Amino acid sequence: MDLKSLMEHHSKLPTIAQVAQRVLASFGSEDVRVGEIADLIEADPVLSAKLLRLANSSYFQLSRSVESVDDAIRVMGMAMVRQLVVTGGIVGTFANTPGMALRPFWTHSLYTACAARWLAEHSDVHGELAFTLGLLHGIGQLHMHSAAPVAMQALDLQLPVLHADRLAFEKAALGFHFLDVSAALARLWNFPSTLVEPMAQIAEPLAGPHFSEAAAVVHLAAWHARNTLLDSPPQDIGAHYPHAVAARLGISSGWVLPEPAAAGLKAMPPMPSLHELAHGLDGMLD
């Protein structure tokens, strides 16, 4: 298996729902009308129900009930609605993925997205971009398991998907890793360049000729989400903290480690727990 053949095997290439593709096209557009998005969502009963359920969830803590798609969009905001629609399209595309425990996978993705958005708010990265990148950064793993289940099962028996060394392991075994596939899928689906370019740099945000702050934020967020889900001991977290990436962003380790800010780095408050940040958003993954 190589990346080229994996992406050229047309019978196994995933496709996403048309409504998700059309909403994706609105990324980067600040003047898209609420009515346009509402019309797209209302044509999909399942998506409409999911939107209303999320709008009425504890995440938004409303004192009233939201009963229409149009009202839900106004309550949630266009950014959140676009993320819900695109996520729903991706989740549906990979609803049956051989060998993958999908709930832990999507929980890691959601935790990464929430951590990335929080970090974005404390840096110069657009929050919607960071959240979407975090949520979708692992889709290559799903495609690899769908297109080559036997080969991936052999890898999984040697090293779990969420292991810290998984990227390097896949690179050594296959010549590419799941983040390479994620970026290739983003291009296949005609994601906006604002998503495709940082997606390709998440694995090594310091390696490219042009530094992507969004890629660096998601790199840190994915690291933190994995440690949270694996309940990594504090000594391991401190030993493997991505200091160089955080330093390039100009932020201290205070958001995750009880350390004083190094000279020249922005002091960071502790990040709330990922369970708290993601509370109420798990409905996006149903």
pTM, two decimal places: 0.87
Residue 167 confidence class, pLDDT cut points 50, 70, 90:
very high
Alpha-carbon distance of 139 to 186, in angstroms, equals: 9
Residue range 14-37, pLDDT digits in tens = 776 777 777 766 665 556 677 777
- Category of 237 on φ-ψ map: left (φ > 0), alpha (ψ -120 to 50) or beta: alpha
Residue range 53-88, pLDDT digits in tens = 888 887 887 888 888 888 888 888 877 887 788 787
How many percent of the chain have pLDDT more than 70? 94
Number of domains in the chain: 1
Rounded average pLDDT over 97-102: 90
**What integer pLDDT is reported at residue 30 of this predicted model?**
57
The mean pLDDT value of the chain amounts to: 87
Residue 232 confidence class, pLDDT cut points 50, 70, 90:
very high
In angstroms, what CA-CA distances link 222 with 23, 108, 150, 191?
Answer: 25, 8, 26, 21
266 secondary structure, DSSP code: B
Expressed as residue numbers, the domain containing 174 is 3-285
Q: Which residue has the higher pLDDT, 132 or 170?
A: 170
**What integer pLDDT is reported at residue 32 of this predicted model?**
62
Q: Which residues of 241-280 are buried (b: 16+ CB within 10 A; e: fewer)?
A: bbeebbeebebbbbbbbeeeeeeebeebeebeebeebbee
Rounded average pLDDT over 93-98: 85
pLDDT reading at 268 higher than 60: yes
Rounded average pLDDT over 250-260: 91
Rounded average pLDDT over 144-172: 94
Q: Residue 100 is part of a domain; what is its CATH number? A: 1.10.3210.10
Cβ neighbours for 217, distance < 8 A, ≥ 6 positions apart:
116, 119, 120, 123, 125, 130, 249
pLDDT reading at 121 higher than 60: yes
Residue 115 confidence class, pLDDT cut points 50, 70, 90:
very high
**What integer pLDDT is reported at residue 194 of this predicted model?**
87
Residue 248 confidence class, pLDDT cut points 50, 70, 90:
very high
Alpha-carbon distance of 182 to 144, in angstroms, equals: 10
